[in-house]
Every structure is written in C-alpha cells, then in structure tokens.
A and B are shown apart, each in its own frame.
Chain A
C-alpha cells in the first residue's frame, strides 16, 4: 500500500495508515527523498501512530529517511510512536539514535517550527523569504 505524502507549507507529512511491507517502506523512502528536493521542503514528518509493531527494517528505514533528508536539507521528525512500541523497540535495541521524535503530529510541527527558528537565528539556514 502506498503511503500518501502531503505537502503542508514547507513540510512534507507522510502518515502511515497500516502495516507496511519492506517494499512499501523502501518506496516511501524513495518518494520522500525525491519530494524533499521537488517541493524544496525543510521538514519531513513521518506519522507512525497507526503502527502497533515496528521491526528492525522499519526502524532502519525511518533512520535512513531522516539521514537522507538531512543531506537534502530537511529536518525529519518521527511522531506518534505508541508506548508499547517504544518499549519493545528499546528492548530490541532499536533506539532511532540521532533521529528526532515527537509525541504527535502537532508536536512534530511545533518542533520543526522551532528548529527553523533556531536555524534562522544562527543564520545557517536558507534565506527565508517570509
């Protein structure tokens, strides 16, 4: 099943609706990385609220998305990890090191806004046209 990717301002939002196969995950990764460039996105949000299982491939793909998007100039945040999923991930040692996380979509948007603000304060971001 293909994951819909929505564009919201400077951000891309991918909301996963059901369990994904490895092929779906790879497809999601490619689509996101391609669109970061096409839409000149500054942030990517991957919403995993609907997932009640997260295997090592899924975690690795999410991490890859975050790192690849960063190379393309966008910050990624994973939102909506369920408590049980978080607990299981940690026990398996899948801790998404170096990837930002937030409670839900709203928090994720706030986080990205905050990051953008920090970047513009530091003067290392892109030129903001308002």
Chain B
C-alpha cells in the first residue's frame, strides 16, 4: 500500500532539500516581518479595533498585547517551536479571561494577524507569482498551527478555570452544621447534580451518625431550580435519614419550585416541609422538646 502511494505521487524533490528550502523561505519571511514590524503591527491593531474585537480592553492595552503577540508569532515562525507561544497564550488567557474576553475574539485577532501578514506578502511578492506561491506554502501551515495553538491554549485555560471553580463550589457547598444538641442543618446552595446529591446524602448520613442527630433541617432556599431527578434525590436523602432514625424537615421551597414539583407530579407526601429556615428550626425544636423563651418570661420581674 505504502509503495503504491509513493508510485502514484509525482516525482517529488528530496525531503531534506524541501525542508531546507522551506526553512530558507521562512527565514526570508521572518526577515520581512521583522523589517516591517511597526507598520504591520499598527495595521493589525487598527483592524482589531475596526472589527470591534477586544472591546473590554483599551486601545493602549490592545497595542501592547498586539506587540507581544506579534513578536511571539514571528518567533514561532522562525524557530518552528511552539512551546514559548503556548506558554504565552496561556499567560495571556489567564490575564484576559477575567476581563470577559470571549473565545471568538481571541481566535478572531489571531486570524486577523494571519490575514494582515498574508496581505503584506502579497504586496511584497506580487511581481513573482511563483515565489509568492512557495512563500505561502511555507507560511500557511506554520500560521495555521500558530492560530490553532493560541485558540487551544485559550480554551484549555478556560476549561481549567471552570474545573477549578466547580471543584471550589463542590467543596464549599456541603456543610452539615449542628445548631443544637441532636439538631443538624444542611443548607444547600446552587445546582444539585447527581454526583453532588450523592455526596450530600453521604455526608449527611455520616453526620447523623456521628452527631447522633434526631432532626435534620434541609434548607433549599439557595437552590434555584429543581427537576424530577433532583426532587427524587431529595426524597431519597429524606428516606435514608429516616432509616437512621432521624426526621428530616425541608425548608425554603420557593414558589417556583413548589409549582414545578406539583406540576411534574413528584410525590412529596413523605416529606415534612416548612416555609422558611426559622420555621423549620422552630418545628425541629418542638420535635426535640425544646422551648425557646425570652429571658423575662422565665424570670418574671418581681
């Protein structure tokens, strides 16, 4: 198969020679880009502004970033190694993602630079079509790879941030707190996915055992939306807690959630619900036999 493929190709020059000539062309290209650095860079920055990209940044900032991107770009073309560019792309992403720069903007500016440089090559070699062709042959793969590297770097950085934040949310969001002897509260904030629901339940069950809790108040004021899956997780948590001998009171169901649950027909008849966290804790205290009184009522004035 391999030999057949080779036979089918037109006689090609020795690969060594080819890469040497590509290297020579790239060197010429880099020299051209270095020479016209100021002018090309300005043209690029102008086109970025005109295309209304990077609107979150000031013009000076755009120009400063454009300069470093340009230099890194040329360097990547010259050396053919992308590590430095990759590191720079990551660093750039780290700086601009918090400022709300979008993926399409980053990809957009790199593609603009590619176009600006290609145009300048057209300008330089328009007399020698053959040379232009060969220069573009050398330029295009490298330029595309650079665009690719920057875009992938940006997206990777973004994903890394998202993962980090998910992790942070997950760690933050599952406190089981003891308010009184034998009374726990579990405030749930944010989105409940199956994994988190499982983690919540496990933590709660363990806490019931270690604290010897009799009543648990689960407050879902901070849960924005609920579907049948989440509702079923909640029902499961309530039932599992009951198996350990603890009564669960659910508080803070928003009007929207109440409507959704009734509309989708989740059976919550097994669940004790109270309007808000305060009511839930009061109900729990009643179940536990506590009575909270103002001091004056306990020691009436003489």
Contacts and interface: CB of A to CB of B under 8 A. Distances in A.
Nearest to A79: B245
Contacts of B236: 90-91
Nearest to A107: B245
B201 A87 contact: yes
Contacts of A111: 245
Give me the 3 closest cross-chain CB pairs, A-B, nearest first: A83-B205, A102-B245, A86-B243
Interface stretch (B103-111, B206-214, B251-259): B206-214
Given A78-B243, A83-B202, A103-B246, 6 more contacts: A82-B209, A91-B236, A95-B242, A101-B242, A107-B214, A111-B245
Contacts of B75: none
21 contacts: A81-B244, A83-B202, A83-B208, A83-B240, A86-B205, A86-B241, A86-B243, A86-B244, A87-B201, A87-B202, A87-B205, A89-B240, A89-B243, A90-B243, A95-B242, A101-B243, A101-B244, A102-B245, A103-B212, A107-B245, A111-B245
Interface in A82-129: 82-87, 89-91, 95-96, 101-104, 107-108, 111
A121 to B, nearest CB: 15
Nearest to B210: A83
Contacts of A96: 243
A78 B246 CA distance: 13
A61 B39 CA distance: 86
Contacts of A78: 243
Interface residues of B, number: 18
Contacts, number: 53
Contact of B245 (A82, A84, A89, A103): A103
Contacts of B246: 103
B239 interface: yes
With a 10 A CB-CB cut-off, give which of B214, B240, B245 has the most chain A CB atoms: B245
A38 B134 CA distance: 103
Interface residues of A, number: 21
Interface in A44-100: 78-79, 81-87, 89-91, 95-96
A68 to B, nearest CB: 20
A79 B243 CA distance: 8
Nearest to A59: B243
A54 to B, nearest CB: 9
B98 to A, nearest CB: 40
Interface string B189-220: 00000000000011001101100101000000
Contacts of B241: 86
Contacts of B243: 78, 81, 85-86, 89-90, 95-96, 101
A38 to B, nearest CB: 28
A57 B250 CA distance: 31
A101 B245 contact: yes
Contact of B244 (A83, A91, A95): A83
Contacts of A81: 243-244
A15 B96 CA distance: 64
Contacts of A79: 245
B240 A86 contact: yes
A83 B245 contact: no
A103 B209 contact: yes
Nearest to B212: A103
B187 to A, nearest CB: 20
A102 B276 CA distance: 27
A107 B215 CA distance: 13
Contacts of A82: 209
Contacts of A108: 245
Nearest to A85: B243
Contacts of A102: 245
Contact of B239 (A83, A90, A107): A90
B242 A83 contact: no
Contacts of A91: 236
A71 B299 CA distance: 49
